[in-house]
Structure 1
Amino acid sequence: MRISTINIYNVDLPVVGGTYRMSLSAVSLLKSTVVEVITDSATVGYGETCPVGPTYAPEHVLGARAALAEIGPHLIGLDPRNLGLLHDAMDRALNGSRYAKAAVDIAAWDICGKSYGRRVCDLLGGATGETVPTYYSISVKEPEEAAREAKERQAEGFKRLQLKIGGRDVEEDIETIRRVAEVREPGTKLAADANRALTSRDAIALSEQCRDIPFVLEQPCGSLAELAGLRHRLHHPLYLDELGTDVNAVMHAVSSGLVDGFGHKLTRVGGISAMRTIRDICAAGSMPHTCDDSWGGDIIAAACVHVGATVAPSRFDGAWIAAPYIQEHYDEENGPRIENGRIKVPTGDGLGVVPDVARFGAPILSFS
């Protein structure tokens, strides 16, 4: 089996509800990049990468497409099932750009599953159940509005809520956490995610003034030095997200005792292959974590669910997918859906989703 053609598609993903706000950015339209890898045996695999705007992280949509343009020609003729050799070829063609390479990696895992007649989660060691938990992310809102939404999402079955904070007076963040805590139902877990926007001073003050409320404080500051400095001055578990950029960063955070858990992004670290390694590092260190991505449609969602299904439930905080903010599925029948706070693990071979590429229009890039 050899790669014969690679097609790259643009997919516009308008945000349902208008705007999704984080501490340092707001987005209303995301442009996802879908990779179609076609083999000479007619087996086709799909990958995807979708940075959530140009300022959330160093990744951005035009960068992903430029990287794929550099990488694509070097992959023609390779066997996509030889994942190690495939990554070696991508690294020889281009340094860095893991988020672009992740789309190729996801497509290769999709092909592996279809070739061997197994789901991706089966190739990763096996699913722990037929569904995985997810969680709902409440964007930066006024305290009363955040509390109202928290009540609604709990009624829909979500057992974990992530509150976006930061980018405003810390007192408003504190009031938002308190208002949401007042409506928190028994069994619902909370996470406060500042997306790097807090100073060490404000992170410490927030934790001190909310010390009676149980929640995870996720990525409050923008550097490892800041996190190390405030680590033992907090009253809440500390999670790493944006700074968990690759396997080495996660390994260091675990071995040094820097954090208590992670919010992992699959494309940020390089795809399913890297996430498998990170999963095992977290297992060795008894670290809880999520398996998410920044944004994207059915392909990224399916990849997150497959990896998440192989994580021990006692350490798994959920697979966040952007489905609540997206209008349409790529695969109307099999696209991952949230029901009562959980997502069914796809049952088809590979990722278990087959996008209708005709809906994407003509490829923006193609290699053969």
Structure 2
Amino acid sequence: MRITGIRATPVAVPYRSPEVWAFGRRRGQVSVLIEVDTDDGVTGLGEAAAYPSADIVLAVLRGLEPLVLGEDPFAVERLVRRIELVGTWHHVKATSPAIAAVEMACWDILGKVCGQPLVNLFGGRFRERVECFYYVARAEPDDVAAEARLATKAGFGTCYLKVGSDDPRTDIERVAALRDGAGPDARLRIDANEAWSPGTAVRLIRELERFDLELMEQPVSGRNLDEMAYVRGRVGVPILANEASWTRYDQLAVIKAGAADVLSVDNQMDGGLANLKRAAGLCEAAGLPVVKHSLGELGVALAAAVHVIASTPNFRYANQAYGALLADDVTSGFGGGLESYADGCMEVPSGPGLGVALDPDRVARYAELYRTEGASFSFGDPQALARAHALPKL
């Protein structure tokens, strides 16, 4: 079997409400869907988040074609090393989502030919379902409380909230509203996206401890592990590394520095599902749990990650996913909308390969939306542009 072509389709799918973070907002998810064709007629599905943009993902895919066409999709390790070394694409993070999408499609082909769900190719089911958190898009405190109540009603055990406002009092009010809406038993995860200096982080985290936080995600720069270790040693909330830990090499450095209690791992930023499994194993050897980070994904990429997470023991916390925030999806019955979750968990697809199929009508609809309105789906906020944009904010 040989690869004969790569087809790429950028799509834009709206969110129920805008996603807001420390430096901007976006109205929905842009992803590049790929289909890898073979001379045996088997097609594999993959998905790349539009990071840092869909244009860059599409350009990388065009650059990968000479390295991929004519190759054996079963030889996943050989193909990825060919891309990284012969193609000199190794360890360049902006290219990783496109590489990961090709690797994902090869795994889908392998599973389809073997007649096995991907989870069985990655070690078999350690768990039957994969827990995800409920993403509370940052808003006014009343809106935060209402979303948290919806999350609890829908059965989610963990709520996730962005902080990092220009005024820390706003963050405290927002976290208080989150606890009030979610109730006393919910787990709360807070993400500052590197917005704080070490001193501010220690002061604010200590003030937020009264809300019984599960994890504090990336409170300070991910580029200064000494700062992370400083904060970790002075607060009572476990620290989750995110921007500091997007690749296996970064995770090794975080472990050596003692900079985090939990690490994010990300197949799209680390170039593939096999690397996601490796990253989790590296952290397990250090005695640390992991969570899946997401740049935003639709049902194809979510299904792929769910298979690997279900086969890997140390994913012990709820994982990041965008399904509860999405208004729709491009797959048939998987990924987008609250109805895709049961008690905050995703079922592991049982079909061969990824176990999901594209819905042609939805793909066409959201490809057209990308063509006509794609620019408005990127992170952008006129108010944020008008303010000082530097890290740390406080």
Q: Which moves more between the two structures, 237-246 or 344-353?
A: 237-246
Q: Shift in Å at residue 324 of structure 1? A: 2.3
- Who is 2:320 aligned against? 320
Deviations along 1:314-352, whole A, 9 cap, x unmatched?
742123322223333322245572122111110101110
Partner of 1:8: 8
Native 8 Å contact 1:71 1:94 kept in 2: no
Contact 2:217 2:240 in 1 (8 A): yes
Q: Which runs of 5+ in 2 are unaligned?
A: 371-394
Runs of 4+ with >6 A deviation: none
Maintained 8 Å contact 1:291/1:305: no
Structure 1 stretch displaced more, 128-137 or 330-339: 330-339
Q: Say what the alpha-carbon RMSD is for the aligned residues.
A: 2.2
Q: Please say which of residues 206-215 and 242-251 is displaced more in the overlay.
A: 206-215
**Superposed displacement of residue 76, structure 1:** 0.6
1:86 aligns with 2:79: yes
Q: Which moved more, 1:4-13 or 1:143-152?
A: 143-152
In structure 2, how many angstroms separate the alpha carbons of the residues matched to 1:26 and 1:286?
36
Please name the residue that 2:356 is paired with: 353
- Indicate conservation of the 8 Å contact 2:13/2:30, yes or no: yes
> How far apart are the structure 2 equivalents of 1:335 and 1:86?
28
> Is residue 343 of structure 1 aligned with residue 346 of structure 2?
yes
**Please, which of 131, 134, 138 is the counterpart of residue 133 of structure 1?**
131
Corresponding position: 1:234 with 2:228: no
In structure 2, how many angstroms separate the alpha carbons of the residues matched to 1:322 and 1:2?
Answer: 34
Structure 1 residue 183: Cα displacement? 4.1
Q: Which moved more, 1:74-83 or 1:205-214?
A: 205-214
Which residue of structure 2 aligns with residue 22 of structure 1? 21
Mapping 1:112-127, distance limit 5 Å = 112-127=110-125
Measure, in 2, the Cα distance between the counterparts of 1:201 and 1:150: 29
Equivalent residues of 1:305, 1:319 under 8 A apart: no
1:358, 1:156 → 2: CA distance?
Answer: 28
- Superimposed CA distance per residue, residues 160-206 of structure 1 (whole angstroms, 9 cap, x where no aligned partner): 11111113211211222223224443542111101122222221111
Q: Which amino acid aligns with 1:328?
A: D
Cα distance in 2, alignment partners of residues 61 and 234 from structure 1: 39
How far does residue 250 in structure 1 lie from its aligned partner after superposition? 0.9
Instruction: Tell me the CA shift for residue 275 of structure 1.
Output: 0.2
2:375 matched to which residue of 1? Answer: none
Does 259-268 or 352-361 show the bigger shift? 352-361
Question: Post-superposition shift, 1:104?
Answer: 0.6
Q: Indicate if the aligned counterparts of 2:329 and 2:362 stay in contact, CA closer than 8 A.
A: no
The Cα offsets for residues 281-300 of structure 1, whole Å up to 9 and x where unpaired, read as 12222222222421121101
Q: 1:212 to 1:186 in 2, by over 3 A?
A: closer
Q: Distance in 1 between matches of 2:245 and 2:155?
A: 29
CA distance in 2, matches of 1:117, 1:5: 22
AA matched with 1:25:
G
C-alpha separation in 1, matches of 2:163 and 2:257: 27
Report the CA distance between 1:209 and its aligned residue: 1.2
Distance 1:335 1:179, change over 3 A: closer
Please give the TM-score of this superposition, normalised by the length of structure 2. 0.84
SS at the partner of 1:350?
coil
Q: Is the 8 A contact 2:14 2:328 kept in 1?
A: no
The alpha carbon displacement at 1:128 in A equals: 2.1
Is the 8 Å Cα contact of residues 32 and 54 (structure 2) preserved in structure 1? yes
Q: What pairs up with 1:179-194 in 2 under 5 angstroms?
A: 179-194=177-192
Equivalent of residue 62 in structure 1, options 45, 50, 55: 55
Inter-partner Cα distance in structure 2 for 1:151 and 1:260: 28
Query: In the TM superposition, what is the alpha-carbon distance from 1:157 to its structure 2 partner?
Result: 0.3
2:164 aligned partner: 166
Task: Please give the residue correspondences for 1:43-62 in structure 2 after superposition, counting only pairs within 5 Å.
Answer: 43-51=42-50, 59-62=52-55
Residue in 2 that maps onto 1:153: 151
Q: Measure the CA separation in 1 of the matches of 2:184 and 2:206.
A: 23
Please tell me whether the aligned partners of residues 308 and 319 of structure 1 are also in contact (alpha carbons under 8 angstroms). Answer: no
Q: 1:209 to 1:300 in 2, by over 3 A?
A: same
Alignment gaps of 5+ in structure 1: none
Change (3 A) 1:334 1:182: closer
Q: Secondary structure at the match of 2:354?
A: coil
- Which residue of the partner structure matches residue 254 of structure 1? 255
CA contact (8 A) 2:19 2:27 kept: yes
2:222–2:242 CA contact under 8 A, matched in 1: no
Distance apart, 1:88 and its partner CA: 1.7
The answer to which of 218-227 and 105-114 deviates more is 218-227
SS of equivalent to 1:77: coil
